[in-house]
Amino acid sequence: MAIAGKFITLPISLGICVSLPSLSNSEALKVDHIVLEVPDGGMTRSGPPGSVSIFKHRLFDLTVTSEVAGANYYEGWERRCTPGKSDPDAVTAYQVGTLARTDQYLYSKISMFSKDGISTPKGFWLQHCLVLRSGELAARVTIDLPKSALERGEITAAEIEKVLSKARLTAASVEDRGTSDPRIVLEMPGDFVPAGLPTFTFRFNHIRLPFGIHITLSDPKTYETAKMLNRISARIWKVGSLPRTDKYFYYFVWPDARPDFELGFQAPGITAQVHVNVGKASLDKGDISIADIERILASARMIPAGRIGQEVR
């Protein structure tokens, strides 16, 4: 089947910030469904938005995952799907193959100990990996399944390679999305359905000040998992509070050599996360303060449906 994106209109009923102190000399950063106040000077987009879309078979343990990002991601994804030369056992777990494609791509089959385990030729799990590039975009498509699924005929090797051979990138806009990223077209066998709304990440850097903002929009059911960041991360995240009245979490790592600040909140039909990264030297010098960062996070809110699609002003 062909997966094509359709525009989603979300109802807006989000209350925040009873008396929110404003940033002096601020301007609005508007990206997709979210708007927030940032120090004036402007924000510049750091590459195309990234996305992750997941599809699962209705009956069997078969998963198709597609990731889209800027073309500079191609080399990193290519390395992940290529055997490491230092481990002879790992090398034999990878089989680099060819597909009926004429563009720049890498295709490999990886034998793994388990779905999330290490690569080994004796594993019972199999991952088919395609990496491709077109214009300013790159994509990685993986198909994960137990090796026994091929033996039982739940899917055939020909069907898998057909999906990967026909995958292509397009010049579509992420604003037109529905249950997948419209920039990548996949033709899959029947009975594959979306596991939820795709996750999109928009990255920006401030033009005048040394800090960046990542805005991630995902399926509403991802909120509880995202909220566990301070438990599952290897870093020491501290719990903070902001002048908000909605359902949210706020974690930060500070003091630290690599300070990070993370807001997550839930709105109708979506989970939103706003991540601010800033250099320690910038905080030490007072280029931007923690109070400024917390005002940015406290100001994050949904854009009314009629204004969706505006990015930076």
What per-residue confidence (pLDDT) applies to 13? 27
The kind and range of the H/E element at 143 are strand 137-146
Q: What is the pLDDT of residues 82-125, one digit of tens each?
A: 987 656 667 789 999 999 999 999 999 999 999 988 889 889 99
Per-residue pLDDT, 87:
66
Q: Do domains 26-42+207-307 and 51-194 have the same CATH topology?
A: yes
In angstroms, the Cα distances linking 75 to 17, 49, 108, 161, 190 are 43, 18, 14, 22, 32
Beta partners for residue 298, in sequence order: none
* Predicted local confidence at residue 42, as pLDDT: 86
pLDDT for 290-308, tens place per residue? 999 999 999 999 876 544 3
pLDDT in tens, 217-252: 999 999 999 999 999 998 999 999 999 999 999 999
CA–CA separation, 233 and 272 (whole Å): 19
Statement: 51-194 belongs to CATH 3.40.1000: yes
Distance CA(188)–CA(27), nearest Å, equals: 44
Residue spans of alpha helices (H) in the chain:
74-80, 88-92, 147-152, 157-166, 223-226, 229-232, 280-285, 290-299
276: which strand partners? 213, 261
Give the SS3 label for residue 246.
coil
Cα distances (Å, whole numbers) of residue 151 to 213, 257, 284: 47, 51, 60
pLDDT per position as a tens digit, 251-280: 999 989 899 999 999 888 899 999 999 989
> Structural domain boundaries of the chain?
26-42+207-307, 51-194
Residue 1 or residue 152, greater confidence: 152
> In the CATH hierarchy, which fold is given to the domain comprising 26-42+207-307?
Protein Transport Mog1p; Chain A (3.40.1000)
The pTM score is 0.86
Mean confidence (pLDDT) of the chain: 87
Tokens 């056992």, located at residue: 89
3-state helix, strand, coil in the chain (%, to 5): 20, 35, 40
Tens of pLDDT, residue by residue over 129-177, are 999 999 999 999 999 999 999 999 999 999 999 999 999 999 999 988 8
